[in-house]
Amino acid sequence: MIENAQEPPVDLKDFVAEHRLPPAYADLATRWYLPLADELARVRETAGRPLVIGINGSQGSGKSTLAALLKHLFITRHALRAIDLSIDDFYLPQAQRQQLATEEHPLLATRGVPGTHDIPLMSRTLEALTSQQASVPIPRFDKASDDRVAQAHWKQETAPVDMVILEGWCLGSPPQNEDELQAPINLLEANEDPDVRWRHYVNRQISEQYQALYDRIDLWIMLKAPSFDCVYQWRLEQERKLAARIAPHADGKGIMSPEELARFIEHYQRLTTHTLRTLPQQVNFLFELDAERNIRAASKPRDLPLV
């Protein structure tokens, strides 16, 4: 189990208010995530160099909030320079995904699965943030327009930083065995990928591109959903929050209906299910969630590396 924090807990009221979280989140964070931040800070001190922390969690599991919280704690509690990044901000621009859809498979027009991220850009960004003394542009993706924000509007981060936190739903996901790809897992695969081309392409990208990205990550955290069944409801909550945020500024374009979301989620079912089964034993910090996203257990499946 992860031990409770030894230092007095910080006041998280401002963080909870800023991120529009329920008041109970402060108690959850104090019990589980303060000790995590403290331990990660100690590893950073021992290592004497910047660390890259990877957070895996299915859609809606709270990984973005955890990344933001760890950044907040590193800065306010440990006087470390930190940045939180999402793999979602490294999606390929819409035009490039449309090209992939034409050349490889129509399903690649939909953002999300391995093969739709700009891995070279992500690797360069991580390298620059941890090794250069420079101003590093941080990519940003606009989900409402389904396209990358123009580089002129990217935030600049002064490097090097002490802690880089990278979160993503497929971060750390291993490839499947080829024979596991054959049987469709849902109607999307059965009807729109009958020849298994899309599944093979995605799996090949993990093996050939994403593994090198994983090697850049020093420490791994996983927020483990109880099952894929929870993901639709969690993702539906995200879509409603997105709609509430952009409604005053848009006509609803880019917001999915429940039916559209159900199909959208099917793009991720195979890899999410595979990751829930295979990744937990590979991470350094595992937090097992219930259907309400409360933490029901925490453990350390793998020892901390000698970074």
The domain that holds 164 is classified in CATH as 3.40.50.300
Residue 209's domain spans which residues?
Answer: 13-299
Yes or no: say if 55 and 22 are a contact pair by the CB < 8 Å rule.
no
- Give me the percent of the chain exceeding a pLDDT of 90: 81
- Among residues 27, 47, 14, the alpha carbon closest in space to that of 306 is found at 47
Yes or no: say if 65 and 21 are a contact pair by the CB < 8 Å rule.
yes
Classify residue 44: in a domain, yes or no.
yes
pLDDT of residue 171 exceeding 90, the answer is yes
Which tokens is 86 given?
């999402």
pLDDT of residue 4 exceeding 50, the answer is no
Classify residue 6: in a domain, yes or no.
no
CA atoms within 13 A on the CB side of 185: 16
In this predicted model, what pLDDT tens digit does every residue of 215-264 receive, in sequence order?
Answer: 999 999 999 999 998 988 888 887 777 666 665 545 555 577 778 888 88
pTM above 0.85, yes or no: yes
Q: What is the total count of domains within the chain?
A: 1
- Among residues 83, 46, 52, 1, the alpha carbon closest in space to that of 295 is found at 1
Give the separation between CA 198 and CA 193, rounded to whole angstroms: 6
In this predicted model, what pLDDT tens digit does every residue of 8-67 receive, in sequence order?
Answer: 457 899 999 999 999 999 999 999 999 999 999 999 999 999 999 999 999 889 999 999
In this predicted model, what pLDDT tens digit does every residue of 123-160 receive, in sequence order?
Answer: 999 999 999 889 999 999 998 899 999 999 999 999 99
Per the DSSP assignment, residues forming a β-bridge with 223 are: 57, 287
Classify residue 305: in a domain, yes or no.
no
